[in-house]
Chains A and B, each alone.
Chain A
């Protein structure tokens, strides 16, 4: 069955450094992949979508890569700030209109 794995449940990064989050998928080849941010007690907020023919996508301090050979997407936040602390969810499509969510990585930016 399709499987999504995100690295470590929690990641602590010093303010100003680059945070890198990993998403690995197995048993299928998604045509695109989305990244969302979720704050405690809130719904997810869409950040970026990257398609299989795009190696990299950027939005302000965010960068996403998509390696279909490694079956992996990396999510980078440069010049991280305490306000970036949240859970980040990797979400490839699950067939039809569906999205499959990974468990997420809780990112803590330490001041």
Chain B
């Protein structure tokens, strides 16, 4: 149980375009979903927290107009990187939790912006 999927697993896009990443909880309803970014050999850095049906809460320094998060249902959250630039290239990971403390992570999405 507690499986989280992400789609796509990797994506290459051109600078200036937008790309959408989906995060789904497959066998449970997620009251809260989180989006992280991880650069090589670095720790996971929380970008934003989203609760179903409400606006996401962004961490300091994360541009909410650039990283659009939509948590449309209890099993789906999306992250859209708008007007992507090469410095946005990173490993994006989502996680989901129910009412317990543990977060269950997706397999991650590798974004490369050329």
Contact = CB atoms under 8 A, between A and B. Distances in A.
| Max count, chain A CB within 10 A of own CB: residue among B42, B46, B103, B110 | B103
A86 interface: no
B95 A43 contact: yes
A34 B97 contact: no
B106 A97 contact: no
Given A43-B93, A43-B107, A97-B34, A102 B43 contact: yes
Given A36-B105, A41-B91, A41-B110, 15 more contacts: A34-B101, A34-B102, A41-B108, A42-B107, A43-B6, A43-B106, A45-B105, A46-B104, A96-B49, A97-B32, A97-B97, A98-B46, A99-B103, A101-B44, A103-B42
Interface of B: 4, 6, 32, 34, 42-46, 49, 91, 93, 95, 97, 101-108, 110
Interface in A32-68: 32, 34, 36, 41-46, 49
Contacts of A32: 101
